[in-house]
Every structure is written in structure tokens, then in C-alpha cells.
Structure 1
């Protein structure tokens, strides 16, 4: 009977532990397309801000540098995709998408077609860059992705002189996958790497313009919950059950056998 009660308590504990994880796993609603930006910046300082899962479009010219920025938080693995619609007539062109963090450090792509060459007269070219998982903290000498603002730069790297200035239409989108406790580290930044966030403090910061104003929907470091908490709870429950089972076995083995006295 006691074993049954212990098992019931363990299941209840697991249910309570898993509930927040299930809530965090629910997909976030996509941004309203009517509010999507329709232009791009020409430098880091003028980068157009976009939310994650928001489709942004912009018109430009071949040879221009186009910039966007988006927020990425701890535990997320961002994926940036871009599509360039080329003019009807053009020579072969090479396009490239680069991603930089809040310190303007270029972040390497784990995989994806970061650079592609469009054949002559091709209608469009698609690019993608999957970054490493954003860490809560890193050594100063490391180049690990950290929470904060990320910049997208789209440009043509190999364009014949005859194609410079031709009109193009672009489309970009940034999404993230929550990795969870497998990427968790001990430590955290005092502030996310958002340009301008550390230039003022207190009440002055509320009235000061910052270079990047977007943040995750639930605020920075919203991913404090991870499946490490679930596995820690599971380990504790299993250890408790093992202790109860061991106690029951040793208690039963230590009892003297009751043999009726000889007549």
C-alpha cells in the first residue's frame, strides 16, 4: 500500500514538473503580415527591426547592402532565410547572407546555403543560415552567440559591372528553435547585447533612444525554464523510489520467521 502511495506521489510530481515545459513548447503565433516591414536599412545603425517569424520585404538595387535586425534569446537556435527576386535579364550573380551579433561579430553558420550563385536570367535565388545555439554566457575571448540583437546583411558579392544597379526584390525571415537544457550553461550576462541598452541607466534610459528596441515576446532571458528541471525532478523521484524499495526489501529480509513452537 505504501509503495502504491509513493508511486502516485511520484507521478503527480512528474506531472507538475512537465506542465511548464509543455506550456513553453506551444508554438507562438506568427506576426501579422500587415505590419511587416517593407524596407531595409543600409548599415548596422539603420537596420530595419523585425520580429522573429515575421516576413519582411524590401526593394533595392544589385550591389546594395541591405540590413535587418531581430532579437534572439538564450536557448534559441536562429535560422535566417532570404529570397532575392532577380530581374528578367541578368548575368550570373553570387548572393550572400551574413549574420552578426550585437557586438557586430560575424557568426558562422552551422549549415545552410549562405552563399549561392544564380545562373544567368534565373528568376530568384534562395539563401539560408542556421546559427549555433544562443548561450546565456561565454568566455570573453570566445565567439559564441549570446542573447541580444542580431543583424542580417544581404548583398551580391559577385556581380558584373553591367548588372550593377538593376532592381531586385528581397524577402527575409528569422525563426528560432528552442533547444532546451542541452545547451544550458552556468552563468548569464548582466545585460543582453542590444546596442544602446548600456549607454544610460535608470529613469534616463526610459527617455533615451536606443539603437535596437525589439526584444523577445516574454522579455529577455525568458527561457529560464528548460528540460533540465524536468530531468532533475525525474532523477530525484527515481532516487526516492529506489530508497523506498530498498527499505521495504531490507525490512522484509530482516524480520525473523515465525515458526510455530513444537507441540
Structure 2
């Protein structure tokens, strides 16, 4: 029994060590990943610290690239389709926010409804899990705000699935309903994206051979600042190791019980 207790204590100590190591690694990975809204630190040759774009594309092929944490802006005419593109990696959940500053109410003839859509690298429209994807603005409104939170990006998926995968994500902003007389009025749009690292709760086995980045996307913003699959750490490693240690401890404890139950009891000799 002393040997069993010693082995069990050693296994539990190993589990505690793994937990501490996992926490340290996760903390290091989190510290290395820039938080949404933070200002990137300039680094030579890394593409960091570039200014936020001040224009938008008019289609998928001309989409303007920006990074999470930046605020991309653009001036446009009511009725234009505005396109931006940004990189999203596995185990990340992105929320895209948009704000449109509308013309003076005196120049408008009625309410208008704006819409934001997000497409992946295969140009498949990804559904919003929550957020205000469509928003109506009254004639007197000075601005309208929209939001779309996507599902967590997966490292791999079945070919027939519509799961979001690592790569380029396109943001499209446009007006979908308004008086015809208001077409062409000047507006000002601002778009930004916040990324949250989800971790092992969404980790899957397998990965893509290459991210879904079309060849038409050019420039220094083609990949995340820390590279694709930069957040390689997943707490699944921690739980798998700790589970194996605890299973071994349970096996040793069960063996000790069955061994003790099989021993013959000692009967003291009669006087």
C-alpha cells in the first residue's frame, strides 16, 4: 500500500506540473497574440504598423485589405458596394462592426436599410451567429451601426461542410432599401474587426494544407501578424495529458483494492 500511495502521489504531482506548464504556455501564447483594438508594434519587414486603409474596393477582386484591430474607412456614394478583406486564423472568432455616417437629413427623402455580409475565401457567405446584420435608419438619423459575429474558424472541415476555415474573409457593406432619389448621396463608412482566441473548446484534429487565400489578395496583409496557425497551443493538450495521468492513478488505486480484497484474512491463534 505504501508503494501504491507513493505512485499515486507521483502521478498527481505530474498532473499538477502539466497543468502549471499548460497555463504558462497558454499565457505565453496569449501574450504573443495582439489583442483586438491594440496598436501593432512596428517591426522591420513584418508588415506591422502599417496605416489603416482609407478606401474600399468595389468587388471581391479589388477588396481593400486591413487587419483586426484596425479601423478601415472609406468615402462612397449611397448605393455603392464596399468591400474589405482581412485574415482570420483557426480557433478565432471574429466580430465585424460597421458604422455609416449618413448625409444631412434635409437632403434625404426617407428611411434607408443597410446590410453587412461576410464571405470566406471561397466566397461563401458565412452566417452571423449574432449581431445586427441589417439596420434601418430613419430619415432623421445621422448614422447607422451594424455588427456580425461569425462562428469560430475551424482548422479543418469536411468538403461538403460550410464551416468557416482559415484564410481571407471579405466584408461587404451596402444599402439594400432606400428611396430612389437618395441614390448617389455621399456617405462615410468605417469598418473594424475584433478577434477572440477561443482555444481548445473549438480545436479539431487535422488542418488545411493551405489557408483559403485567393491569389487576387495582394500586399502585406495576406496573413495574420504571427503567421497562419500561429496559435498552435490548445488546452486539449493539457486535458489529454491530465486525463491520462488521472486514469493511470485510478487504475493503480483499483488494482490495490482488488489485491487487498484477494488476500486471506489472518486468524489469531487460540490460546
TM-score of the aligned structures, taking structure 1 as reference length = 0.85
1:4 and 1:257 map into 2 onto residues whose CA distance is: 28
Q: Deviation per CA, 1:153-199, whole angstroms, max 9, x where unpaired?
A: 111111212211211111111122222223233332211110118xx
Deviates more, 1:231-240 or 1:218-227: 218-227
SS of match in other structure, 1:136: coil
Give the number of aligned pairs: 252
1:6 and 1:46 map into 2 onto residues whose CA distance is: 57
Contact 2:65/2:86 (CA < 8 Å) preserved in 1?
yes
Deviates more, 1:170-179 or 1:137-146: 137-146
1:192 and 1:137 map into 2 onto residues whose CA distance is: 10
Deviates more, 1:3-12 or 1:148-157: 3-12
1:183 maps to 2:202: yes
Structure 2 residue runs of 5 or longer lacking an equivalent are 41-48
**Structure 2 counterparts to residues 26-175 of structure 1, below 5 A:** 26=31, 28-29=34-35, 30-32=38-40, 35-89=51-105, 90=108, 91-175=110-194
2:218 and 2:52 map into 1 onto residues whose CA distance is: 21
1:181 and 1:8 map into 2 onto residues whose CA distance is: 23
Contact 2:126/2:150 (CA < 8 Å) preserved in 1?
yes
Q: Over the residues paired in the alignment, what is the CA RMSD in angstroms? A: 2.4
Contact 2:113/2:178 (CA < 8 Å) preserved in 1?
yes
1:217 maps to 2:225: yes
Aligned match for 2:13, one of 8, 14, 19: 8
Contact 1:195/1:211 (CA < 8 Å) preserved in 2?
no
Aligned match for 2:215, one of 196, 212, 227: 196
Contact 2:67/2:221 (CA < 8 Å) preserved in 1?
no
Contact 2:116/2:134 (CA < 8 Å) preserved in 1?
yes
| Larger relative contact order, structure 1 or 2 (CA cutoff 8 Å, min sep 6) | 2
